[in-house]
Amino acid sequence: MKEKILKKEFIIPLICFISYFYFNNLVSLILDPIFNIFINSNISIQIYSIIKYTFFPIILFILFKDELINNIKIIKKKISSYLPNIITPYIFGFITMLVSNFILIFIFKLGVATNEQQLNELYNTYPIYVVFASCIFGPFIEEMIFRFCLRKLIKNDKIFIIASGLIFGALHVIFDMSSIYYLLFIIPYGALGIAFAYTYVKTDNIWSTIGMHTLHNSALTILKMLV
């Protein structure tokens, strides 16, 4: 019984957390040689990319199906009581993100974060894929990994909130740095990560952060379309 609990509460979340960094590359390594002969247009590239991106969230859902379904049932009943712990942290996180971005871009003259530049370029080339990745699969995957799974690995509230925010922020920056100073962009990204982590601690319901993350990304994507 203890081994079963250990597997569910620690080993599987740890494997999922580690897999986040390698899973899509592994899928590409396996499928690309097979399907590349059929990929001959911009639309087919986007459709194929979307299909590849669905594997990881499907696996995550299957692994934690019971908890996710139970969380859906709970949030339907308690959404009104959850709202203060969803909206207030998000507002503080969003304002911190805006202010720190303004300081880094316009006062420190660092320009837009490399991650944001690459996302803009990707959107201009593959808009359908970016919409699916940013507004549907991305929020689910990131909340499952950086909140749901990480929470199972770190039980202390304060350590979890800080670690979740910093890791979330760092992974939006560290692989796309053109300068050491771009590490400062961990602040705006991390602020939002901390807000989501705080919400998860307070609600103990992963759909509260998945929902807010989805709305956040969707709003930014719509703004990008209009601009």
pLDDT at 4: 62
Angle at 220 between CA 215 and CA 225, to 5 degrees: 125
At residue 3, does pLDDT exceed 70? Answer: no
Task: Please tell me the pTM assigned to this model.
Answer: 0.94
- Domain around 168: 2-226
Render pLDDT for 184-204 as a digit per residue (tens, 0 to 9).
999 999 999 999 999 999 999
Number of domains in the chain: 1
- Using CA atoms, how far apart are residues 54 and 118, in angstroms rounded to an integer? 21
Q: Output the pLDDT for position 165.
A: 97
CA distance 95 to 78: 26
Q: Please report which confidence band the pLDDT of residue 182 belongs to, taking 50, 70 and 90 as the band edges.
A: confident
Highest mean pLDDT pick, 24-38, 119-133, 195-209: 195-209
First to last CA, the chain: 55
- pLDDT the model gives residue 1: 57
> Using one digit for the tens of pLDDT, what is the confidence trace for 57-105?
999 999 999 999 999 999 999 999 999 999 999 999 999 999 999 999 9
Q: Is the dihedral of CA 44, 50, 56, 61 positive or negative?
A: negative
